[in-house]
Amino acid sequence: MTTHDTVVIGGGAMGSATAWQLALRGRDVLLLEQFEPGHVRGASHGRSRNFNIAYAQPEYVELLVEAARLWRELEEQSGTALLDQVGIVNSGRPADYPVVAEALAAVGFDAEFVDPVEAARRWPGIRFESTVLFNPQAGRLDADASVTALQRVAAAHGAEIRHHTKVLRVDVTADDSVTLEVDTAGVLSTIVARRVVVTAGAWTSTLLDGIAPVPRLVVTQEQPAHFAVTDDSFTWPGFNLAPPPGDDYWYSGVYGMFTPGQGVKAGWHGVGPVVDPDRRSFEPEPVQFAALERFAREWLPGVDPTRAAPISCTYTTSPDSNFVLDRSGPIIVGAGFSGHGFKFTPAIGRVLADLADGAHPSSHFFAFR
C-alpha cells in the first residue's frame, strides 16, 4: 500500500493540467492513467482543437481569459508551441453575435463583423451566407502535444505519472481518506490518498457510482473527419457554422479547423451514437458520415469531399452541456466537458487544484446539479 496527498484519476488533458497545477504548488500528486501515452480511446488525442473564444456567459469568458494566459505559460515552461492564433470564423447565428462581441470586448478580446462577400474573399475555402463574427485571437491547439507538455512539466515539478494503471474501486473511508484499488499492468495494489481528483472522461459515471452526486453523463462516439485540402492560398481559420434554413440534412452545427499534415477537420457536434467507452467500434455511423461528406461538398469549396479520413473520439455530455467542477467530501470531480472543454484545459486544472486544496467552488454555475 502506498499513500499520497492527492491522486488524480485520468491522464487526459484535464487530469494532466490538474497534476501540473498541484505540482507547481509543491503538492504530493500521483496521476493515474489506465492506457498508454498518446492513446486514442478518450477525448484528448489528435493534433487539433479549436481555441474558440465566442462565448458570452461570464463564467466561460472568465475561464477563457485565464486559459489564454496559462496556455502561454505552459508553452514557456515546456518549450513547446501549442496555441496557433489563426483566428476563428463563426457564421449562421448573427442575432447572437453582438452579445458575444460585447462580452469579449469587455475582457480585451477582439471581435470583427464581416459581411459574407468580404468573408468569401478572405477565406475562399469556406462558404458563407450570413454575417461572420471573426475572432483573430482565437485559433488552434495541438491536443497531443498539449497533454505531453502538461505531463512533462508536472513531472518536472515532482508529480508522479503512472500509465497502464486502471482504478478498479474507489472507497471513501473518512473525510480525508480515500482508498483506491488499482491494476497496474496486471499487478493489483492499494493506494490511499487524502484527496482524489476524478477526470476520467467517459469512465466517470461508472467509477463514481454511489460515491459522488455526479449528474447524468451521456457518452457518445463522435465522428469528424479530415478532408484533403485543395485550396491553400490562404491561412485557414477555425470555423463554426450554424445550420442554415432549409438544409435539413445537418445534424447540428459544424465545427472545423485545419490540422497540419492531415487536412481540414470538420464534424457534427454532440450527435454521435451513445456508446460504452470500453466497447466502441471506432467506425463512423454511415448515414452521419455521408451527411458530413455532403456538408463538405456544399460548404467547404477548399477541400476534396471525396478524400476524407474519419476520426473517432468521445464526448461526455452533461444535461445542460455545462462543465461539472465540484467536490463531494474528499472527491473532486471534473467531468461533462461536452465537446467544448479542451480550450479551457489549463484553467480547469487550476480550478480542480483549488478544490483539491480545500477551496470552495468559486461559482455554483459548474456545481453538481
**Mind listing the pLDDT tens digit for each residue in 226-261?**
999 999 999 999 999 999 998 999 999 999 999 999
User: Where residue 363 falls among pLDDT bands split at 50, 70, 90?
Assistant: confident
Can you tell me the distance from the alpha carbon of 239 to that of 254, in angstroms, rounded to the nearest whole number? 8
Residue-range domain boundaries for the chain? 2-46+145-217+319-366, 88-137+219-317
**What is the pLDDT of the chain when averaged over all its residues?**
97
Q: Which phi and psi angles does 233 have, rounded to 5°?
A: -80, -5
pLDDT tens per residue, range 100-112: 999 999 999 999 9
Write down the pLDDT at residue 369: 74
Task: Tell me what the mean pLDDT of segment 323-336 comes to.
Answer: 97
Domain 88-137+219-317 -> CATH class: alpha beta
pLDDT tens per residue, range 138-154: 999 999 999 999 999 99
Reference 3, options 171, 193, 175, 147; nearest CA is 193
Select 2-46+145-217+319-366's CATH number: 3.50.50.60, 3.40.50.2000, 3.30.1280.10, 3.30.1360.70. 3.50.50.60
Decide: 20 and 153 in contact? Cβ < 8 Å: yes
Q: Where are the beta strands (DSSP E) in 88-164?
A: 88-91, 112-114, 132-135, 139-141, 160-162
Cα angle 6, 10, 11 (rounded to 5 degrees) comes to 95
Decide: 344 and 64 in contact? Cβ < 8 Å: yes
